[in-house]
Structure 1
Amino acid sequence: MQQGSNVKQARRFFETLMAKDLPGWVGLFAEDADMELPFHPPGFHAERHGRAAIERTMREAFAVWETVEFTGPVIYETTDPDVVVVETTGDMKLSTGGHYANTFIMLFFFRDGEIALWREYLNPLVLVDAHTGGDAQKLAELFPDPNEPAAS
């Protein structure tokens, strides 16, 4: 797929995320897609394997985030047409009444027009503080291991 199409898919990632359109957002990912958070807080799972695990994580996030806003995003094309880099800031209004605001660098690796890998860099201290007042264990409870089967 041409890089222009992958850039459009990266834009669609943010459009569907801000609209909290979970089916549309999840549809951007390959069935075997991975998500990585290299700078993750303690107790928070750094990787999600497969579209279902990524969907589960975002479903949990949408339960905590009343609104999702991103400024920008600034999208950078690379010499590899299947890699897109995005720099953005996000501000999520939380169901607790607080806000979660962070700066993100996201790398998207595409395969056949679908996101095969989403690698997200963020400040984990801001993530923990906004969602739990600094308690990393509570964050792990809010977002359990998405790679485990969901409880029935």
Structure 2
Amino acid sequence: MPIHSSPADLYRHSLQLLLDKDIPAWVGLWAEDGVLEFPFAPAGWPGRLEGKEAIAAYVRHYPEHIDLHDFPEVRIHQTTDPEGIVVEMRGVGRLVKTGDPFDMRYIAVVTVQHGRITSYRDYWNPLAVQQPGTDFTGSAR
């Protein structure tokens, strides 16, 4: 993995990996004990994933459900913590199963230490793509 000089550079690289549908490389950006949180997760959905293995299992089939085409809006805000960033972004693409458009706005609060993501709080609306019996990746719950 290339060394990224800042959390913002690492985050931009992570977005490209998602567009490339390279989930193993995206997971490779995480620290072994990284934590991925979904503060707005509805009942029955995971609100917190602890560790790289749990994160990998959760996102493994993402490209089979959401075909991301672009992140046309990405604003990365530096924080007073040099290891932290806040990101406002919009992802667009299509839902693979139905072919329906996918257009989602996100806010992410991300912490990076030693070139790896250690904490990622993903503030998005899972109800926008929720279908009965699926999680945000479209995988069966």
User: The TM-score by the shorter chain falls in which range?
Assistant: 0.7 to 0.9
Letter in 2 for 1:8: D
Contact 1:38 1:120 in 2 (8 A): yes
- The residue aligned with 2:38 is 37
Contact 1:32 1:116 in 2 (8 A): yes
- The residue aligned with 1:51 is 52
Distance 1:19 1:7, change over 3 A: same
More helix by share: 1
- The residue aligned with 1:92 is 93
CA distance in structure 1 between the aligned counterparts of 2:65 and 2:40, rounded to whole angstroms: 21
Structure 2 counterparts to residues 52-67 of structure 1, below 5 A: 52-67=53-68
- The residue aligned with 1:20 is 21
CA distance in structure 1 between the aligned counterparts of 2:79 and 2:126, rounded to whole angstroms: 26
Contact 1:19 1:68 in 2 (8 A): no
Contact 2:18 2:68 in 1 (8 A): no
Shift of 1:92: 3.0
Structure 2 counterparts to residues 2-151 of structure 1, below 5 A: 5-96=6-97, 97-128=99-130, 132=131, 135=132, 138-140=133-135, 142-143=138-139
CA distance in structure 1 between the aligned counterparts of 2:70 and 2:125, rounded to whole angstroms: 17
Tell me the percent identity. 31
Structure 1, unaligned runs of 5 or more: 146-152
Contact 1:44 1:143 in 2 (8 A): no
TM superposition score normalised by structure 2: 0.86
Over aligned residue pairs, what C-alpha RMSD do you find? 2.0
Q: Which runs of 4+ in 1 moved over 2 A?
A: 66-69, 140-145
TM superposition score normalised by structure 1: 0.80
TM-superposition CA deviations, 1:29-82 (whole Å, max 9, x none): 001111000001232111111111111221121221233422221111111001
Distance 1:74 1:111, change over 3 A: same
